[in-house]
Amino acid sequence: MPPSDLGVLSELSRCRAAEECAEQACFQVRLEALLGRRLVVHCANACAEHIGELVEGLKAWSRDGGLADGTVTVLAIDPGAEFRRAAGDVPGPLWPGFAFSTLALPHGSDTLALPRTSER
């Protein structure tokens, strides 16, 4: 018998990268970075159309928030992971999917500055 909260699970697995998107999320973006000595972890799901927007948005959010020395990991979501967890399965090390890309965030003191032009 399927879990009684399938509607909730289905809603939670929707794309969160765009306000009006109702597509099923097939990727999760996980940001892990430092704020001082404190580890900050943020996860969000996206469909294939919005994955780039989500990655760029989290990178900007980390930069604006002063987060440093972190990574952004993109996972391909296992569509059955939420349902197995709802049925009592314990999430494993690759839950909810397979990490296929990890991007390093700039160090706290690094900035993306435009080249300076010399004034005469």
Domain range annotation of the chain:
6-104
Per residue in 58-84, pLDDT tens?
A: 888 888 888 888 999 998 987 777 677
Per residue in 80-118, pLDDT tens?
A: 776 777 777 776 655 677 888 898 987 654 443 333 334
Q: pTM for the full model?
A: 0.68
Q: Does pLDDT of 16 surpass 90?
A: no
Which residue spans within 12-63 are E strands per DSSP? 27-35, 38-46
Question: Rounded to an integer, what distance in angstroms lies between the CA atom of residue 31 and that of residue 117?
Answer: 34
